[in-house]
A and B are shown apart, each in its own frame.
Chain A
């Protein structure tokens, strides 16, 4: 009995140490029936109550299409582009990446580390915006409070270009 308890305590201790505050985001790229399907361009960011970008977390775009080509359509992630995407130089280390296939994608952001960095306590919204070539554009917001005292799970769902979005906030 005692022997069993000690490893459990140790495990809990280590888990606590490595379990820094942060955001885990799951983004579902829905399957869409289209004669010509292109993976969506997606931007994920944290927004302040007055709709400014607190920080851009991830951008998926077609950077495999040759130099300068992929950035041509970044403006189609329209709201992100206008609110601050246009001030960033792509590719951006730890933020930008290639477009993702249909399915669920898990992203983890840790407080104190780029791109989440230090987030001042307050009200925020997680924003996920998707724009697809020959498709539509959709934006999903999840309001949240930062920081949290206990793990909190929130979710929302898009109807067209985005599936379920879940946000796990770690204390």
Chain B
């Protein structure tokens, strides 16, 4: 988990190791809309869900997918010191998916007594990392970050079959405080046991106890969460396996991060 966070922090364009172990998230201003309109978003890397107190999140690879499958481009994108902000116009009825999905390779090795690192696409790996590198450690990553916004009635969500994904028993824009929510975790489209999940209500800075709920998916890939209070929740799921595409890699780390709004 820690290593994965570092990787994401690096992919987010941060070259500092100070980012070690930080979470990341996208926070919508609204998730349930009764008329077409703009929604604004904060995107940040921080330890405290929805408190932008560390670094902005790069959104170069953000996809905003409309209910009909078309893409919406973010507008008014601004990258500040603490957060990235952007707006998006939601004109269709149904559910929009906002997702940042990255697959990549990370490697570390020694070269003339110096530690070297690589983080990037598989295609660049062979070009930038010498084949005979000493103490070469290679692993692959597949990180997904998501949130959803619905205009009118929620529409059915489709999974992509790549990386770590979730299928929710209740539509993510249809959550009410106190109702149990079953989440099924899929790895490359297959329900998978042993996914480690943490769910934390936002604004931890106003509580003494972070009070995160921890789960591990069962044999059908399911966890059941009760969200007792209305609010914004941050879900972080992690898994690792050895389905790798590069021969030097031994392990693949998968992560899934989701922002959920629960209404009273």
Residues of A that sit less than 8 Å from B by CB: 68-69, 71-75, 78, 81-82, 85-87
Contacts and interface: CB of A to CB of B under 8 A. Distances in A.
Interface stretch (B33-41, B80-88, B216-224, B239-247): B33-41
B161 interface: no
15 contacts: A69-B35, A72-B35, A74-B34, A75-B32, A75-B34, A78-B263, A78-B264, A81-B34, A82-B32, A82-B176, A82-B263, A86-B152, A86-B153, A87-B152, A87-B153
Interface centre among B36, B37, B152, B176 (most CB of A within 10 A): B152
Interface string B123-157: 00000000000000000000000000000110000
B111 interface: no
Interface string B171-186: 0001010000000000
B250 to A, nearest CB: 47
Interface residues of B, number: 12
Given A82-B174, A86-B152, A86-B153, A73 B34 contact: yes
B264 A71 contact: no
Given A82-B174, A82-B176, A74 B35 contact: yes
Contacts, number: 29
A73 B33 CA distance: 8
A87 B35 CA distance: 12
Contacts of B37: 72
A69 B35 CA distance: 8
Contacts of B33: 72, 75
A164 B152 CA distance: 31
B261 to A, nearest CB: 12
Interface centre among B34, B37, B174, B264 (most CB of A within 10 A): B34
Rank and list the top 8 A-B pairs by shortest CB-CB distance, nearest first: A74-B34, A75-B34, A71-B35, A72-B35, A86-B153, A86-B152, A71-B34, A75-B32
Nearest to A137: B264
Given A71-B35, A72-B34, 11 more contacts: A69-B35, A72-B37, A74-B35, A75-B32, A81-B32, A81-B34, A82-B174, A82-B263, A86-B34, A86-B152, A87-B153
A54 B51 CA distance: 42
A68 B36 contact: yes
Contacts of A68: 35-36
Nearest to A70: B35
Contacts of B34: 71-75, 81, 85-86
Contacts of A81: 32, 34
Nearest to B154: A86
